[in-house]
Amino acid sequence: MILAAVLSICGLFSYTLPIQAEEVCNSWDETKRVHFLRRKIPTAISIYTDGTEQNVLHEKGLIDEVQYDILRVIPTEHTFLQVDYSEYPVFLNELKDYNTIAQGYQYAGGVNAGYFSNTEYEYGRPVGAVRRHNAWTWWNGQENTPAYGSGYATAYFTGDDMWIRYHGWAWNDWQGDDSWRWWTGYTINAENGISGSYTYFVDGVEMDITGGAGGMINYRNYGRAVTIFAQNDEKEYLLFTIYGTLPEERIKEVLRELHVENAIRMDGGGSAQMVYETELVKEARPELRWSEVPEDIAAYIERPRGHLSVNTFKMDVYSEPDLSSQTRGDATIDERYEVYELIPGEGGTWYRIGTKRWLFGNEENITYKSDTWKVEFVAQNQLSVYEKPAIPSKIIDVVEPGDTIVVREIYDRESFIWIMTEDHKWIPVKAEDVTIKVQ
């Protein structure tokens, strides 16, 4: 626990945060993720909240040994995204809207966005659209609309509505909606707009609407870090930074795992960066865990532990095992629900009945029955046995390669798969540590 105010220094900008708060800065230095900011930028996708609900989750992990971060934002009347812009590039943690903050909102974090010119005269000029507060921004007296540049797609968003369209010059011709003409100006009903390079998903369909147009074709094999702006099928925004090289097909596979409906690639390389405030952002367990786990083990992780029925007319279903999290409908007295995970809580137990679907109750309002099952694993490496499913925790034994482990439960926690043995001891494993023996 942090007992004093934390001094946060990211890039060249610093200020004092409240007690128990920390500003985390991550960027790319051409070899790995580093915990400071390296490059100034003119545009960002920022998160603001009034602090009454914790609707921003942070997740980090590895995809094929490449580090990633995700800020997952549940847009509500209390939490929202917006484009932030400066005509002169600054460090990401300086790129905040102080007018929004003056209205009582807090800056929760953000990622780099868009592209910009590196030439001496036009340094910092956005390439493509920058729209915020329902109006186009300006650079040196010129409007930042999609017409500048070529081969770009633009992401528009207001509240929880996001859509991606292509408007701009390509091969000396204007491309996009017939009603848009460069000589008549631009009108579009969106609070925010930001041009990226090309698209992975549009309206639930995997495709690139730019068709490789114009100068951006060179970015398809960029081979460096990247930032992706996306939204999944539950209307959650994903601010996704990947710190290293992944094949395009692998990136699309990961986006499919995240149930993405719209996804556009933003600037990458040295510009790929993220900032978030720990006081306003909750750490989440990785949603990409299955990419690191063999299918036979993953099947047991998602195998029901039991089933329940509710004893009242209806009960709220929460997105997280937290009474302050967003509600996801309700559970009714006439339904039977499979239970995939149990977490003891004060005054009751949390029951996970599906992806991001949790019930909280006790014996008075929930009847739960456990299913009896077990599986055996064979250790492939020497494994430590812990007293509790947490690191650090007391190591009480070891399992040698070739030993059989009789498993009672399997959970995913803290970047590991945790196995609970028959005698209620805990072993953290990765994909290569164990193989299934019998089912």
Q: How does pLDDT run across 3-12, given as a tens digit for each residue?
A: 233 233 354 3
**CATH 2.30.30.40 domain span(s) along the chain:** 374-438
How confident is residue 296, by pLDDT bands cut at 50, 70 and 90? low
Q: Containing H/E element for 43?
A: strand 41-49
- SS3 assignment, position 316: strand
Of 214-218, 219-223, 346-350, the poorest mean pLDDT is in: 214-218
399-410 b/e with 16+ CB inside 10 Å = b? Answer: beeeeebebbbb
Q: Say yes or no to pLDDT of 88 above 70.
A: yes
Nearest to 59 by CA among 282, 389, 235, 292: 282
| Buried b / exposed e along 266-296 (16+ C-beta atoms within 10 A) | bbbebbbbbbbbbbbbbeeebbebebbbeee
* Fold entry, domain 374-438: SH3 type barrels. (2.30.30)
Q: Residue 20: what are its φ and ψ, rounded to 5°?
A: 70, 10
Distance CA 336, CA 435 (A): 33
Q: What is the mean pLDDT of residues 184-207?
A: 82
- Quick one: pLDDT at residue 4? 30
pTM of the model: 0.68
The CB-side HSE value for 343 (13 A sphere, CA atoms) comes to: 14
Separation of alpha carbons 398 and 418, rounded Å = 14
Indicate the average pLDDT of the chain.
Answer: 81
- Considering the domain 300-370 in this protein, what is its CATH number? 2.30.30
Residue with tokens 């439960």: 409
Query: Mean pLDDT over residues 64-82, rounded?
Result: 92
What's residue 175's pLDDT?
Answer: 59
Residue 428 has pLDDT above 80, yes or no: yes
Q: Poorest-confidence range of 88-97, 131-140, 144-153, 324-333?
A: 144-153
* Integer Cα distance of 194 and 209 in angstroms: 15
Mean pLDDT of 31-57: 91
